[in-house]
Chains A and B, each alone.
Chain A
């Protein structure tokens, strides 16, 4: 494994390696993880590269510990990340809730494999879309991004860190086994070409600092341990000073704010990629590795006179309702292919409200949906 500086170069990388490059480009200096297929390469490459850049890699005793460690590191000022797959992701959920409530920026990569349980460890699936949204307890907003290619793995990982820092929230990247292990040639941009966002730090005198005070962005500046802004961090619902509260007039504004900081910035967070969508009659909505098959299928369908188009979802949560609704009003039918029993298609149906016909194409045998399968369906619709 090379430790050479590859910025500005064309390199052949697998998705997992590109996630690491993206993280490092975004300023990640701390990684804690526990080995699990098919995410292990992220840990392995991090263990080689992070120390060379002055950062820290640690292999913890389990995924619960990994998630705790990245939260602690973030509170002490590091941009931090962990990576896992379904079963490990389940273990992280408790501390993920903590990161939401304490507003701790961090990035969690879930390279999805077949489940439930140990499931199909070396096979592709997209079964954790709802776990990413609702896996932890209580009401909380979350940002979840899906990657479909090696290039995505780089670009979207940078975006994930930026969104985490900007909104003081954990950001989940859903990758999958195919994306993780496919090798593709990409150009790693020079550092100057990459937009990197850092959390806003307090600049008032420490005694004036109110760590969870609302502002127009809904995101308070974040003091870090050791910088002179001492405050209390807790998983309990807290008042603006960070101390536990049971007062309704403090609980409601707090929970409303952490939802609002995401909802009022939907259009900054929502990302889709479209192809041949402008005059499309049949729209394919896909994400992750399946979006690659869908892209090919849509192009083929056009050649055969079917006006198909693609909306590839990058942001899965918050669900891009505002982007999809205009399409649903216009197209004759929508096809949602995915590697599960219908997790995103269910969401599409929820927002569709009878505007158009929503069809599903599901595969749960651990294999990728092929372009031909999607094409065959498109020709039938």
Chain B
């Protein structure tokens, strides 16, 4: 299903969800993929039909971490790498709240790597959106855990010699209930992936391939925002199609779509059973 938005609809969404007093202009560079993600996120949330009061948007530190400031939900901008830990507390204190966490690749998988794998394993009903632009953008272009081998960064001027993480595959292995990968080029697909992730009961992850043309692109001579978007278009392969392709055909490409969707016990529901067990034990003592 391809949902297109008329200009009137877009305006309606802007008025409904954006904090237009004082919060703009935003901090992002012109052409950055974060704006496309913000649009996709708002459209996805709108389609799930949640009230603004029911949504808590949590973020870490970095370019993507600034996203919650612009939208009119309960918003929480935490410390670097720790967004999922705050989100865990919010969700456990009030499981009725729909908690969505926005992180960057360095935020989620370097300093926050431990929290990320344990959040996936624990399986609270949370949604983690990880914007992967292969670099630390806000601090000025240092290499991150997803910077490709051989690339250049301000802390890798002689070329990068580490292998990079595949965020989505890491999430699959760590035990997330749903894992998807999208790109900011495939914007309408991104809407749907985020919507599906929010609706998913359990820990869901959406890795969003984005571009940082000012820090990563410029340094690695990948062109401007448009060239980097074209790269996403040309190198993304839908998971369904990739299943039928050979390894040689897939070399240098990456898959987009839903990587895994499975039903696992949800923490808050399991904990409800713990409460019952504890209560009956207390009653027995009395």
Contact = CB atoms under 8 A, between A and B. Distances in A.
A233 B282 contact: no
Given A70-B89, A230-B53, A65 B97 contact: no
A20 to B, nearest CB: 14
Contacts of A108: none
B275 A72 contact: no
A71 B84 CA distance: 12
Contact of A3 (B76, B97, B282): B282
A71 B286 contact: no
B50 to A, nearest CB: 11
Contacts of B75: 230-233
Interface stretch (A46-54, A181-189, A255-263): A46-54
A235 B275 contact: no
B59 to A, nearest CB: 9
Given A95-B79, A232-B69, A243-B69, A71 B86 contact: yes
A227 B23 CA distance: 23
A234 interface: yes
Contacts of B155: none
Nearest to A71: B86
Given A51-B278, A52-B275, A75-B76, A232 B86 contact: no
B93 A68 contact: no
Interface in A72-126: 72-78, 80, 94-95, 98
B275 A51 contact: yes
A297 interface: no
A5 interface: yes
Interface string A1-27: 011110000000000000000000000
Nearest to B114: A61
B43 interface: no
A60 interface: yes
A233 B77 contact: yes
B82 interface: yes
A225 B75 CA distance: 9
B112 to A, nearest CB: 10
Contacts of B86: 68-69, 71-72, 75
A73 B79 contact: no
Contacts of A305: none
A77 B92 CA distance: 11
B87 to A, nearest CB: 6
A126 B154 CA distance: 44
A233 B76 contact: yes
Given A64-B82, A230-B74, A234-B69, A72 B90 contact: yes
Contacts of B69: 232, 234, 243-244
A56 B88 CA distance: 11
B22 interface: yes
A62 B114 contact: yes
Contacts of A231: 74-75
B74 to A, nearest CB: 4
B278 A48 contact: yes
A203 B92 CA distance: 25
B92 A61 contact: no
Contacts of A65: 82, 85, 88, 114-115, 118
Contacts of A98: 78-79
A5 B286 CA distance: 8
Interface in B81-105: 82, 84-94, 96-97
Say what secondary structure dominates the interface of chain B.
Answer: helix
A64 B282 contact: no
A231 B73 CA distance: 7
Contacts of A143: none
B90 A225 contact: yes
A167 B270 CA distance: 35
Contacts of B96: 226
Contacts of A235: 77-79
Contacts of A62: 114
Interface string B236-253: 000000000000000000
A30 interface: yes
B205 interface: no
A52 B279 contact: yes
Given A231-B74, A236-B77, A73 B90 contact: yes
A98 B87 CA distance: 14
B94 A56 contact: no
Contacts of B278: 3, 48-49, 51-52
A336 B68 CA distance: 50
A228 interface: yes
A74 to B, nearest CB: 7
Contact of B89 (A51, A76, A241): A76
Contacts of B93: 29-30, 56, 72-78, 80
A58 interface: yes
Given A51-B271, A243-B22, 7 more contacts: A51-B277, A64-B85, A75-B86, A76-B91, A98-B79, A225-B94, A233-B75
17 contacts: A4-B286, A5-B286, A30-B89, A30-B93, A48-B278, A54-B275, A60-B118, A61-B114, A61-B118, A67-B85, A72-B91, A74-B93, A94-B79, A225-B76, A225-B94, A231-B74, A235-B77
Interchain residue pairs A-B with the least CB separation, the first 10: A72-B89, A68-B85, A69-B89, A73-B89, A76-B93, A52-B278, A72-B86, A51-B278, A73-B93, A234-B77
Interface of B: 22-23, 52-54, 56, 58, 68-69, 72-79, 82, 84-94, 96-97, 114-115, 118, 271, 274-275, 277-279, 281-282, 285-286
